[in-house]
Structure 1
Amino acid sequence: MEVEIDVTWHNTLTAIDCGGNLEQIGCPHCGAWIDTEWYADLLESHCEDGFVTLAVEVPCCDAATSLDVLDYDWPCAFARCEIAIWNPDGDWFGDEELAALGDALGHPVKQMRAHI
């Protein structure tokens, strides 16, 4: 398979998730597992317009928190810029490579692997 690179700029914060790799989401307040259907419904309701804010109340304990601090078992993020590398030949980028990429872009980066 040929490696492809896509760069996408979003007008608002957009969920960048790991697809089928995501199995569990933990609450940073009470430690309970959050129903992934709640998360999927939330993403679905924002798929067209993105997120104005990441503030939410989690269903397990009604605590106010932010989507970017939930305990995802696979990396997930919310961003306005997405660089997707399809069918990569290698493994995960190392910390030094991520730091160099972040320096080149002028902003920290987060790496995710999606199963789509």
Structure 2
Amino acid sequence: MSEDVLSIIPSDPRWQPDPDAVDRAIALVEELTPEVADGLDAEIDVTWHDVLIAVDCGGNLERIGCPLCQADIDTEWWGDLLEAHCDDGFTTLAIEVPCCGGSTTLDVLDYDWPCGFARFEIAIWNPERLWFSEDELRALADRLGHPVKQIRARI
């Protein structure tokens, strides 16, 4: 059985909030996240990472585009890259793209559905909503003290 995860991450992959800001943000996430099926609360995980981790969209990924030559990047290349870094994370996001050999960073590739990288993540498992609205994201960013983005994964 697959699961859905709606993650909130900082727009700057290396940024991390202080614990008090996280407590304020979690209080808002709890208000904004309705109960899941059978009246159970959604599970919310908060994680700080020492290195950059990929926060990908799992089975929702439809394509990856190169920001340099606009070619499609093979999703198998992406999967191999994630697998190679699943245990130790990423020390850098700098890459040479396989399509044109140009230099760029993983966080600026054109992901369809959104993907990201972070050292901090709030993950809501099986929420009964698809996305947070722009106003809700701004409110979460205000509580954390930094702009955020959202990633929806099908695992």
TM class by shorter-chain length? Answer: over 0.9
Q: Retained in 1: the 8 A contact 2:47–2:122?
A: yes
In structure 1, runs of 5+ residues without a counterpart are none
Partner residue in 2 for 1:27: 66
- Quote the RMSD (CA, aligned, Å): 0.9
Quote the residue 1:91 is aligned against. Answer: 130
What is the aligned partner in structure 1 of residue 44 from structure 2? 5
TM (norm. structure 1) is 0.96
Partner of residue 105 from structure 1, selected from 144, 151, 154: 144
The match for 1:76 is 115
- Displacement of 1:91 in angstroms is 3.3
User: How many residues are paired up?
Assistant: 116
Larger gyration radius, structure 1 or structure 2: 2
Runs of 4+, deviation exceeding 6 Å: none
**Maintained 8 Å contact 2:61/2:111:** yes
Rounded to whole Å, the distance in 1 between the matches of 2:138 and 2:89 is 27
Which is bigger in relative contact order (C-alpha 8 A, separation at least 6)? 2
- Residue type at the aligned position of 2:120: C
In 1, distance between residues paired with 2:130 and 2:60?
16
Question: What code does the residue aligned with 1:81 have?
Answer: F
Extract unaligned runs of 5+ from structure 2.
1-36
TM-score, normalised to structure 2, is 0.72
Structure with greater helix share of residues: 2
Match of 2:87 in 1: 48
Whole-angstrom distance in 2 between the partners of 1:15 and 1:87:
19
State the secondary structure of the residue aligned to 2:68: coil
Q: Once the two structures are aligned, what percentage of the paired residues are identical?
A: 71
Between the aligned partners of 1:7 and 1:41, the Cα distance in structure 2 is 26
